[in-house]
Amino acid sequence: MNNQDFDRYAPPSTPFEEILRSLEADGYLGEPRAVGMRRVMAWLREAWGLFKQRPGKWIGAALLIGIINFAIALLPFGVGMLLQPIAMVFIAAGTAYASQGIEQRGNFNIGDIFLTGFWKNGKALLGAGLFGLMLTILYGVLLVILFGNDTVQAYIHGHEGVPSAMRILTLGFAMIYWVLNFLTPTLIILQGEKLFRAIGLSLKGFLRNVVGAFWCSLLMFLAFLGVILSGAVLTGFFGSLVPVLGKAVLVLLAVAVLACLSVLFILPYAVYRDLFFEQE
């Protein structure tokens, strides 16, 4: 044995030693763990805890994200539909970066969410956005082949009489899209993972925690549903008594929805921290 075997500060002699030293530095495992369904509540608590540290900023960011998406959707000639998946990848990456800022420094800048992805691993994030766009286009072509253009247009515009098979296929595609992209922006911006490795890791994370992933999705859906239904009931009740109170409850409902959206945006970071790092 040479001195390097005993000296942790000596230059690494192999790439494997370099990887081990990097792992030792920040605890990143490089592969997702299987953690079990019981960790789902921990993910939600972690996301909620990060939100609570700066709720005003998170709600403001969620509102801006909604405005940006609405503005992009208004772009003519289908440009908005093409840009939306790309924009959301950059926003998801920026949200992960901001979440890390909250965890490490207790604060973040709104610009972290909207600008970081353009200067930090921007090419890989653009690739992730284009990958999502390609999946969407391929799925659209598949629908036209299977059901015809008129039926697809009717589905897009919310008309009745759309085949149930198309709705089921769309749900399945949405799940696949979500699985492949859920952790990808986070892994790219925080760990510098290459595009297809990040996609593969996102898929592995889902497959190793598939029950937890569906349970988490169900809980978030129920949370949104509970907020909206309770808000609607309270708005109607107080509005029937005093119209001003009804409007006040409506504002509170909007804030609650934005808070839920903020937690949803933070959630990938909480999952990433649990799956890719050893917990003490």
* Inside any domain, residue 231: yes
114 and 182 both lie in a single domain: yes
204 and 214 both lie in a single domain: no
Encoded amino acid at 144, one letter: V
Predicted local distance difference test score (pLDDT) of residue 7: 46
Predicted local distance difference test score (pLDDT) of residue 162: 79
More confident residue, 196 or 165: 196
Three-class DSSP category at 270: helix
More confident residue, 196 or 245: 196
- For residue range 89-144, list pLDDT tens digits in order: 999 999 999 999 999 999 999 999 999 989 999 999 999 999 999 999 999 899 99
Boundary residue ending a domain (160, 189, 208): 208
204 and 79 both lie in a single domain: yes
Residue holding tokens 């015809």? 148
Write the CA distances from 148 to 90, 133, 162, 164, 175, integer angstroms: 33, 21, 11, 14, 23
Question: For residue 128, what are its two tokens?
Answer: 């992730």
Left (φ > 0), alpha (ψ -120 to 50) or beta: where does 192 sit?
A: left
Write the CA distances from 140 to 82, 137, 197, 254, integer angstroms: 12, 5, 26, 33
Is residue 126 packed enough to be buried (19+ CB in 10 Å), middle (13-18) or exposed (0-12)?
Answer: middle
User: Residues 17-25: what's their mean pLDDT?
Assistant: 46
Res. 4: pLDDT tops 70: no
Q: How far is CA 168 from the centre of its chain?
A: 23
169 and 180 both lie in a single domain: yes
Contacts (Cβ under 8 Å, ≥6 apart) of 166: 143, 146, 147, 151, 152, 155
Boundary residue ending a domain (208, 228, 254): 208
Res. 36: pLDDT tops 70: yes
83 and 197 both lie in a single domain: yes
Answer positive or negative: Cα dihedral of 200, 48, 56, 236. Answer: positive
Average predicted confidence (pLDDT) for the chain: 87
Residue pair 180/204 in contact by the 8 Å Cβ criterion: no
Res. 2: pLDDT tops 70: no
More confident residue, 65 or 157: 65
41 and 154 both lie in a single domain: no
Predicted local distance difference test score (pLDDT) of residue 25: 57
Backbone phi, psi, residue 28, to 5°? -70, 125
What's the number of domains the chain is made of?
A: 2
161 and 214 both lie in a single domain: no
- For residue range 193-207, list pLDDT tens digits in order: 999 999 999 999 999
Distance CA 9, CA 222 (A): 51
User: Residues 3-24: what's their mean pLDDT?
Assistant: 44
Distance CA 254, CA 147 (A): 38
Q: Is the pTM of this model over 0.75?
A: yes
Distance CA 51, CA 6 (A): 44
Q: Which domain holds residue 153?
A: 75-208
Boundary residue ending a domain (208, 226, 253): 208
Predicted local distance difference test score (pLDDT) of residue 176: 93
Predicted local distance difference test score (pLDDT) of residue 1: 45
Distance CA 159, CA 245 (A): 36
134 and 227 both lie in a single domain: no
